[in-house]
Amino acid sequence: MSRPSFTRFAQHYWATLLAEFGTVYLDEPVPRAPTLRVHKYPSRSNFGTTVLETLTANQPSVWVSPEIVAEAELVDVLFEPNLEQSRTALGLLGALITAPCIIETLRSIPTTRNFRKCFGNGLRWQVESDGGILPIDAMSGDDSMIEDSSEDETEELEKQLIVVVPSMTEKQLAGWGAEPNHRNVAGLYELAPIWCTTIVLTRELPPTAETLWLRLLSRGAAQRAAIQELMQLDSSHPFRDVVLRSLQHWYQQMGREQTGRESLETMRLLSQIEI
């Protein structure tokens, strides 16, 4: 099934914009290890599960500590920054991508299902390196698999999930426990630190040069304003022409899709791009 033109544009945009700042992986399987393409969430064997097994022995509908089998999922964009390369030119975006991250870019307000899928990809990537999932043919451990909680307190959470969307409702943000980011920038939210997740609401971002590279992935008037700002940049700007080419390519793809009024207005603006 062909993916929407915006999804393909967003991939091309990230690959183009971030190329000199690190390594960009498109359609990357998560978990990333080849041995975990098909994996399982291991069962636990301890006193608690033994008691539960005894209590539910005559209840065939109750499974105690089953092994859950799953397959790797493809994420649109996974980025590993070169920490020796300055990201100042990227403005606010550069401040967000200081660690390896999955970048999920959505065209519309996400449904609960959409957001759960993004969130699930982030969690799956996190647990890959801490033994939370195993190859399908591996043996599950026992009590020794239970990690010392004192280690968890000092563990560095190095993998991030960044979800870029035009907007979300207050109810959605509250439901996910999202709070305004410590940077005190409108449109920037974070989940609790343990989830390593940042939400960028592009329509709420202040219209400044610092936010331009995020607002270009917005929608409607906010995106068109960002495109106009990009077109007005000096021709010597290092990102201007390469990003304009990405937008031109998107314009060509949009012409093959059914478009509504909002998309037609965006297409009219994109048709004016000259490099």
**Predicted TM-score (pTM) of this structure:** 0.86
CA distance 28 to 186: 31
pLDDT at 270 over 60: yes
- For the ranges 11-15, 68-72, 76-80, 167-171, which has the lowest average pLDDT? 68-72
> What integer pLDDT is reported at residue 143 of this predicted model?
44
**pLDDT tens-place string over residues 3-60:** 889 999 999 999 999 999 999 999 999 988 888 888 766 666 565 556 556 656 776 7
Does residue 180 have a pLDDT over 50?
yes
φ, ψ for residue 142, nearest 5 deg: -125, -140
pLDDT-above-90 percentage for the chain: 65
Q: What's the pLDDT score for residue 43?
A: 64
Q: Any alpha helices (H) in the chain, and if so which ranges?
A: 5-18, 47-55, 92-96, 112-128, 149-154, 170-175, 212-215, 220-231, 240-254, 261-270
What residue ranges do the domains of the chain occupy?
Answer: 5-43+51-138+156-223
pLDDT level of residue 62 (50, 70, 90 thresholds): low
Region 89-106 average pLDDT: 98
pLDDT at 263: 84
Residues 130, 155: Cα–Cα separation, whole Å? 10
Mean pLDDT over 182-194 rounds to 95
Query: What pLDDT, on a 0 to 100 scale, did the predictor assign at position 138?
Result: 74
Token readout for 272 is 């004016």
What residue has token string 């939370």? Answer: 132
- pLDDT tens for 208-217 read 999 999 999 9
Average pLDDT of every residue of the chain: 87
Range in 81-95, 117-131, 137-151, 199-213 the model is least confident about: 137-151
Angstrom distances, CA of residue 192 to CA of 174, 182, 231: 12, 12, 38
